Structures are given as C-alpha cells and as structure tokens.
C-alpha cells in the first residue's frame, strides 16, 4: 500500500496534540535551533515587553520561541526551536 | 497636565496634546524602553551602514563616513503600539533620501536589518520623501544604547516598532517580506492614525 492510501487527515492527530497542549508549561523543555542547547522554559531569557514574549536561548541568545496575544487570539512562533519536549501532565 | 510645566520648546506644545494623540494612545512624558533582545554593543570602528539587495551597487558607510553625511535635526511626535505617545521628540540623523541619492533600484519595499537580528519591513515610499531618518542623536545627545544607539531607524509617522533600534542597513526588495513583529501578528504597515496595530486591522 502506498503512503497516500495510509494518509489520514490532521484530525486523527488531535488526541496526541490535545495531550501536548494540555501539558504543564513549566515542564516544557525547548531545544535551540541555532546552537542545540536544551533549556527549560524558565531558563530562557524573556524580552519583548508588552508587545509579546520573545524567549531567547541562554547559550547563544537566538530566539527560541515567540508568543503574542493579538485581539483575542494567540500566536505561537516556534521556528527557532529544533523541538520541544513536554511531559505528560497526568 | 505636567507636560505644560516641563517647558515649552515649540509652538506645538502650547497647543497641547489635543489632536496630536492618535486613537487609543495616551500621553507619555518619559521614554519607555521596549526591546526584543539584549542590547548589542558594536564598537564604532566595527559599525557600518549598508544599502543592499536590489541596488545597482552596494553602498557602505563607516561610522566616520556616516557622521560626515549631511544631517538634519527634526522634532516629531512618536507613537508606540503599546499605546504611549511622546510629543516633540528631537532627533538628529541622516535622511534616508540622502542615503538613497544616486542609488538605482526597482525595489518597492525595504527590510531594515539590525545588530541582534531584529528586522522590520516598510514600503519604500514610507522611507522616502522626507519621512525617515537614520538617527544617531536624541535631544542633542548621542543616542543611548537602550534607545537604539549608536543609530536607529526613525519613521515617526508609523508605530515605533518600525523605527528599528541598532539599525545597520536597509535591504531593498522587489517583494515585501514581513519583519520581526510583522510576522507575529502585528500590522504590516502600522499607521497609528488608522490604528493599524494587528493583522486584520483595516
Ligand atoms: Zn542557542
């Protein structure tokens, strides 16, 4: 069977993603896409003031994660993170 | 109220803030600092300003060459998207028109780039025609690092995040490219009088 026949729509990943987004944020560990250093959220350096959260790597100061509240919605930019590791909150 | 007692400098002050505050803004007397990252400390002998991208040839000025360019001192109101406005701030710097003099380009957009990696995008017409400067002095003093020194872009008719701190050059582009805040929900143009704060604002 080819890959297209096995493909599901994104809703089939909802259970997994629900678990991830329900995680305790303080347990999240992010790996910097720039230098590869892994840090807890609390160890990242916060800038951005009232415009939004700009969280930078304590190793190389590159942006790892950005978040902003924009007129009732939230934007999350993870292009500076190689990956995030989240613990099961349960 | 207190701004009245802080000394008159121009006729504008006598008229007060009425009519000078864009919608949703409040009058600020201090000069709040907002940064997306740590303050860079580039030594002046390693500083340069470049005009790159869609140009017939790259233009580059060292710090000394930049200071030798014709300078202008201007007084303008500035408006931050976090809702403070500051009236009658006085800056000295080089007009972007001066930097573009003799540059041949077909670009319609610019992306300002900075020490520390910050960027902001603007239509070329928002930085030409006497609307934008590379400022290196504020109120007659060298621009403090916290406020973007040694030099920052100054585009006072747009929200202040467009006035990029620690600017090092302009990239001229045929196609628009969202900058740091413009890619995180903030308006692509940012006209305070039209209250263009966020994506989707008219
Ligand atoms: Zn890093």
Q: Which of residues 64-83 of B touch A (CB under 8 A)?
A: 81-82
Distance B144 CA to ligand 1 centre (A): 27
pTM of the full structure: 0.91
Determine whether the interchain pair A51/B200 forms a contact, defined as Cβ–Cβ distance below 8 Å: no
Distance A22 CA to ligand 1 centre (A): 26
ipTM of the complex: 0.90
With tokens 């840090």, the residue in question is A39
Q: Residue B198 is nearest to which of A62, A66, A71, comparing CB atoms?
A: A71
Bridge partners of residue B61, in order along the sequence:
B49
Where are chain A's structural domains? Answer: 3-85
User: For chain A, what is the largest distance between any 2 Cα atoms, rounded to a whole number of angstroms?
Assistant: 52
Number of domains in chain B: 1
Tokens representing A13? 């990943």
Percent helix, strand and coil across chain A, each to the nearest 5: 30, 35, 35
Distance in angstroms (rounded) separating the CA atoms of residues A86 and A41: 11
The answer to whether B8 faces chain A, any CB pair under 8 Å, is no
Phi-psi region of A11 (alpha: psi -120 to 50; beta: other; left: phi over 0): alpha
Residue A45 scores a pLDDT above 50: yes
Nearest to B35 by CA among B134, B197, B158, B166: B166
Q: Which of A11-20, A29-38, B1-10, B72-81 has the lowest mean pLDDT?
A: B1-10
Per-residue pLDDT, B7 = 43
Q: Residue A61 is nearest to which of B37, B184, B200, comparing CB atoms?
A: B37
Determine whether the interchain pair A77/B181 forms a contact, defined as Cβ–Cβ distance below 8 Å: no
The answer to whether A52 faces chain B, any CB pair under 8 Å, is yes
Chain A to chain B, count of Cβ pairs less than 8 Å apart?
Answer: 47
The answer to whether B198 faces chain A, any CB pair under 8 Å, is yes
Q: Which residues span the domain enclosing B94?
A: 43-73+89-194
CB atoms near residue A80 (< 10 Å): 19
Give domain status of residue B182, yes or no: yes
Nearest to B36 by CA among A49, A14, A41: A49
| Cβ neighbours for B63, distance < 8 A, ≥ 6 positions apart | B44, B45, B47, B48, B150
Distance in angstroms (rounded) separating the CA atoms of residues B14 and B11: 5
CATH number of the domain to which B146 belongs: 3.90.420.10
Question: Would you say A64 and A55 are in contact if contact means Cβ atoms under 8 Å apart?
Answer: yes
Question: Would you say B16 and B4 are in contact if contact means Cβ atoms under 8 Å apart?
Answer: yes
| Average pLDDT of adjacent 10-residue blocks, chain B of 202 residues | 43 65 97 96 97 97 98 98 98 98 97 98 98 98 98 98 98 98 98 98 94
Q: Residue A68 is nearest to which of B34, B38, B184, comparing CB atoms?
A: B184
Distance in angstroms (rounded) separating the CA atoms of residues B170 and B114: 9
Element (H, E) at B96: helix B96-100
Determine whether the interchain pair B185/A45 forms a contact, defined as Cβ–Cβ distance below 8 Å: no
Distance in angstroms (rounded) separating the CA atoms of residues B60 and B124: 19
Give domain status of residue B16, yes or no: no
Give domain status of residue B29, yes or no: no
Distance in angstroms (rounded) separating the CA atoms of residues B145 and B9: 25
Per-residue pLDDT, A1 = 72
């Amino acid at each position: 069977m080819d890959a297209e026949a096995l493909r599901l729509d994104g809703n089939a990943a909802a259970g997994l993603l629900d678990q991830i987004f329900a995680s305790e944020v303080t347990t999240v560990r992010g790996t910097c896409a720039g230098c590869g250093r892994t840090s807890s959220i609390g160890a990242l350096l916060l800038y951005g003031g009232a415009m939004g959260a700009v969280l930078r790597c304590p190793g190389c100061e590159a942006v790892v994660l950005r978040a902003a509240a924009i007129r009732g919605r939230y934007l999350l930019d993870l292009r500076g993170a190689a990956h995030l590791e989240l613990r099961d909150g349960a | 109220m207190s701004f009245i007692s802080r000394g008159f400098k121009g006729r504008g002050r006598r008229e007060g803030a009425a009519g000078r505050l864009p919608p949703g803004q409040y009058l600020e007397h201090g000069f709040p600092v907002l940064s997306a990252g740590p303050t860079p400390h580039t030594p002046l002998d390693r500083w340069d300003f470049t005009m790159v991208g869609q140009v017939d040839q790259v233009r580059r000025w060292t710090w000394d060459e930049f200071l030798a360019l014709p300078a202008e001192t201007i007084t303008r109101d500035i408006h931050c998207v976090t809702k403070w406005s500051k009236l009658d701030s006085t800056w000295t710097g080089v007009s972007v028109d001066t930097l573009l003099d003799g540059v041949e380009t077909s670009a319609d957009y610019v992306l300002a780039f900075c020490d520390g990696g910050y960027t902001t995008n603007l239509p070329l017409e928002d930085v030409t025609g006497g609307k934008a400067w590379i400022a290196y002095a504020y109120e007659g003093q060298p621009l403090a690092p916290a406020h973007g020194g040694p030099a920052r872009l100054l585009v006072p008719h747009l929200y202040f995040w467009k006035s990029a701190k620690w600017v090092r050059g302009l990239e001229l582009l045929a196609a628009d490219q969202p900058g740091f805040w413009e890619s995180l929900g903030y308006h692509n143009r940012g006209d305070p009088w039209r209250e263009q704060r966020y994506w989707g604002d008219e």
